[in-house]
Every structure is written in structure tokens, then in C-alpha cells.
Chains A and B, each alone.
Chain A
Amino acid sequence: MDQQLELLLEIQDLRMQRRELTDGSTDLEAEVFDVKIEDAIRLLDEKVEELAERLARGIRDRYRRIADKAPRVVAPVINGICYGCFVAVSTARASEADRNLRVESCEYCGCFLYHVG
């Protein structure tokens, strides 16, 4: 897997974790797991920023543009469908043997793509 894509995946997963801490649906984290929500959010923000700084400049600029506008910066591609916009990615792209070996984006929604499975 492309190392930049791997960084993007980590960033996306951490952003998802942060989102769940802030959207009010995870009282469980505070009540069951005794997580200090504000501290956790700060730690996640710091980690996301640290990882973002490790992205190559062009990818980082693109990441920041997407991240400013949308909660999702990386979308999974499952069975040829981009789960960012639910549009089929091109057949050639979906069937490439070297998928996930380079950073690519959805031509419709702009999300970075991660081929799952």
C-alpha cells in the first residue's frame, strides 16, 4: 500500500473517532469507558495534525481542501462503488492490480479512494 494512502487512512479513522466523540452519540465513551472527552478530542486533533504534516505537499494541500469542507477525506471503494458519493469508479481503475499502491481520488466527489477487500 502507498505510504501516503496509509497516512490518509489513519487520518480518516482518527477523524471518524473524533466525530463520534463530538456528535453526542457516544455517551458510552464517557460513561462506560471513563474517557475525558475534551482531552480525547485534543489528543486526536494533535495526532491528525501530526499525521497531516507527514503528507507530501500536493496531497496535504488537497487533503486540507477536502477536510475543510467535508467530514470524509477518504472513501472506501467496495465492489467498484465509491462510498463517498455512491457512484461507480471507472472499471479500469477498480480492476487495477496495483490498486492502493498509489494515491487516487474519485473524479465525482473528490475523496481520496481506498479499495477495500
Chain B
Amino acid sequence: MQLRELFVPSAINLDLAAETKDEALKELVSCLGLDGKSEGILYKMLKRRENLGSTGIGRGIAIPHCRSLVVTRLRVAFGRKLSGLDFKAIDEKPVRYVFLIVAPPLEVSNQYLPVLGKIAQFGKEADVPESLAELSSPEQFIELLEAKDL
């Protein structure tokens, strides 16, 4: 499965209201359309994962991720905050682009780790931060993935 098939426009937010890392996590979790209780559990789990080490991989990109029982299939979301968020990233620079990945404990297709790897690889490509900055619609985000054959 291609990465772009996992993203739906409602889970692509090019103008996050969040001013902090925690708010960004909450805002992205809210894009997934879960019930309130599940959102709370998922947020807590993402925070616990962040406590093990920041998911800010540098160059303005963060990939918060976890497995949780509250989802039944792999879910992804993308958020952009052009003014930047303090994510305690590896390079200590502000994070502008946040890819959220959540998977259930068991997946028949076992996509979680490959998707995590693909997004990490995508984030390392030289032109990607600039391309993400220039997006003006969720559809363009999907087109960018398509252009990268992802």
C-alpha cells in the first residue's frame, strides 16, 4: 500500500492552532475521529512515547507514533505549524511538520513499522521541508507523496 492511500484530507491540517507540542499532539489526535475517551488514552500514550525520547527527527520534522488498543487500523495524520513548535527535537530546532502514526497492537498487514520507516525516509529528503512549507491544500500534500512515489 502506498503512503498516500493512508492519508485522508480531514487528517491533514496545514495550519495547526497549537502553540505547544502537547497541544499539537491533541490537535492531531482529534483529526482521527475517535471518541473523547479514546482520544485521551491515545494522547497519554503518545506523551509516554515522547518521554522515552523526542520524536523530533530534525530538519523541522517530528513523527509521534505509538500502538494502542483504541484504534482498529493504522491511522495517520499530518499537521503543519509554520511558526514552529518546541518538540525538543534531536537538532534542537523548532518542529514545523508533524506526522502522527497510530496502529493497533495487531495488524493483519503489518504496515506500522514500514510506514514509520517510509515517513522517516521521506523526512530526510533534502527538498521535503521546503515542499511541505509551500503546500496550500491537503490535496497538494497527497500530490507531493504521489510525486515521491509514496
Given A28-B120, A32-B57, A72-B105, also A116-B69 (CB < 8 A): yes
A110 interfacial contact with B, CB 8 Å: no
The B-contacting residues of A in range 54-103, CB under 8 angstroms, are: 72, 74, 76, 78, 83
**B7-15, B47-55, B125-133, B142-150: which lies at the interface:** B47-55
B residues near A32, Cβ cutoff 8 Å: 57, 63, 117, 120
Asked whether, in the complex, the Cβ of B53 is within 8 Å of the Cβ of A76, the reply is no
Nearest residue, chain B, Cβ from A12: B69
Across the interface, do B69 and A13 meet the contact criterion of CB distance under 8 Å? yes
Please tell me if the beta carbons of A17 and B53 are within 8 angstroms of each other in the complex.
no
Q: Among residues 62 to 95 in chain B, which have CB atoms less than 8 Å away from a CB atom of chain A?
A: 63, 66-72, 90
How many Å lie between the Cα of A11 and that of B144 in the bound state? 38
Report A23-60 CB contacts with B as 1/0, cut-off 8 Å.
Answer: 00110110011111001100110010000000000000
Find out whether the CB atom of A114 lies under 8 angstroms from the CB atom of B49.
no
B116 CB contacts on chain A under 8 angstroms: 28
Q: Which 7 A-B pairs have the closest CB atoms?
A: A35-B53, A40-B52, A32-B120, A16-B67, A13-B68, A13-B45, A16-B105
Pull 18 A–B residue pairs with CB atoms less than 8 Å apart, ordered by A: A6-B37, A10-B45, A13-B45, A20-B67, A28-B116, A28-B120, A32-B57, A33-B54, A33-B55, A34-B90, A35-B52, A36-B53, A40-B53, A43-B51, A47-B48, A72-B105, A76-B72, A117-B72
